[in-house]
Structure 1
Amino acid sequence: MKKLVVLSGAGISAESGIKTFRDSDGLWEGHDITEVATPEGFARNPKLVLDFYNLRRKQLQEVQPNTAHHILKKLEENFDVVIITQNVDDLHERSGSSKVIHLHGELLKAKSSGNESYEVEWSSDITLQHTCPDNHQMRPAIVWFGEAVPKIENAITELKNADYVLVIGTSLQVYPAAGLIDYAPDHATKFYIDKNPSKEAVHFKNLSVIAKSASEGLRILYPILLSEKDNTK
């Protein structure tokens, strides 16, 4: 079975009603990124950061996977699909996708602020009263700015073995997606779905651009991928 590696970003979750990471003014839900998405911000005001992610977690439980998520799941019938996502939501998993790598962490998990190896499933609020067994404050299991991306090597390994690569809902100008696609073999067939495709797209070999939203683009791409698969038998 041919391997299809998907690089997904905020654009695919936006169709489910999840706001994209930050607005054009650089703010995320009215907060400066340094306040809510850095270790320094958490050290300065842990309650603000916990409250911020508690609200994100509640909002996540009010939305559902969309057509794009469901089509990616359906592609597992014909491909070995691995999704490498920058999103911290669980919409890929809820649609049934079985292989998902979260580069930036997961909103429905919490970890110890003093013990990197302690991470647990978490669907309710995190408060200042929640600590790990070693008595360190619990925090969202999110990769903040300035922190290492622990699953990047796993993602690179998947890209190196890809037969097909799909970039969807994320710009080819923003890392890590822009850097990861470079690890795909030259012979891999690449697709890029975005309503406003980046001019950077012309620099990638074997890349076809579909200038549509995530769901619209996948409706178009689905039969193309099946045809590609049949032609390579």
Structure 2
Amino acid sequence: MFESIKDQIKNVKKIVFVTGAGISQESGIPTFRGKDGLWRNYDAMKLATIDAFYENPRLVWEWYNERRKNIFSAHPNNGHKAIAELEKLRDVVVLTQNIDGLHQKAGSSKVLELHGSIVKIKCTVCDFIDEMMTDFSESPPLCKCGNILRPDVVWFGEALPQDVWQKAIIHANQCDLMIIAGTSLAVSPANTLPMYAKQNNALLIEINPENTEMSSEMDLIIRNTSANILPEFISLFKEN
């Protein structure tokens, strides 16, 4: 399946991965869309909003507490591990929409979390931000300033952290190869990253069982999962 690009990747030096919920789903972490996106009959896509949080912060915190337990019990799959292994052979940067930290657990050292991290918390009012070291006795938990704490994640309708986003654009502009794995590219602005890579004449590869918003822009499309395909793909670089 890689014959068409075998010659093109010989001189690739910098590889950027854009990853989404699909790669983590293979580690047992549910996605927001489809039947996996339901929690106690609530639509997860509606819970992950600032409006839902202010309307019922206790409910949203309960959901995130359960998500956190699920994420902490999950392990990196062969897709995560293959990306980390590729660091030994090329300059690799991961731009992920996932908040679960599985890329870092697998050993990837250059990871930009576009949508934040579930292990971090921040205040809704003051500038307090920290890692969540333990479960809170109260729900919703309160900051030392007396205001409600929230997960340090980007909810639907919120802007991405600008420092992280600017770095992501720079990496996308500089790469020779971009691999889009396990993301539908339906969420903005992360779905514009392939366009930045294309401006640099980078090779674009999509690994996803289903069609995405930008499949027509790809140089190679592989209709399979990351855990199945990436270990085989990495072997190409070991040959060169």
| 1:35 positional shift | 4.6
**Structure 2, unpaired ranges of 5+:** 1-11
| Structure 2 residue 223 is the aligned partner of structure 1 residue 211 | yes
| 1:226 positional shift | 4.5
Q: Percent identity?
A: 38
| 1:223 positional shift | 2.5
| Structure 2 residue 239 is the aligned partner of structure 1 residue 221 | no
- 3-state DSSP of counterpart to 1:77: coil
Using the size of structure 1 for normalisation, the TM-score is 0.87
| 1:195 positional shift | 1.3
Q: Distance in 2 between matches of 1:64 and 1:156?
A: 29
Q: How many residues of Structure 1 are paired with residues of Structure 2 in the alignment?
A: 225
Q: Deviations over 1:175-213 (max 9, x none)?
A: 334311101134212211111233732234xx2112211
Q: Distance in 2 between matches of 1:168 and 1:218?
A: 9
Structure 2 counterparts to residues 1-233 of structure 1, below 5 A: 2-23=13-34, 27=38, 30-33=41-44, 35-115=46-126, 117-126=127-136, 127-128=138-139, 130-150=141-161, 151-184=164-197, 185-198=199-212, 200-204=214-218, 207-226=219-238, 230=240
Contact 1:171 1:177 in 2 (8 A): no
Contact 2:22 2:182 in 1 (8 A): yes
Q: Deviations over 1:73-102 (max 9, x none)?
A: 000001111111111101111111101111
- Residues 1:90 and 1:182: Cα distance change in structure 2 (over 3 Å): same
| Aligned-residue RMSD, C-alpha | 2.2
Using the size of structure 2 for normalisation, the TM-score is 0.85
Q: Could you tell me which amino acid in structure 1 is paired with residue 125 of structure 2?
A: G
Q: Could you tell me which amino acid in structure 2 is paired with residue 2 of structure 1?
A: K
- 3-state DSSP of counterpart to 2:74: coil
Q: Distance in 2 between matches of 1:15 and 1:34?
A: 20
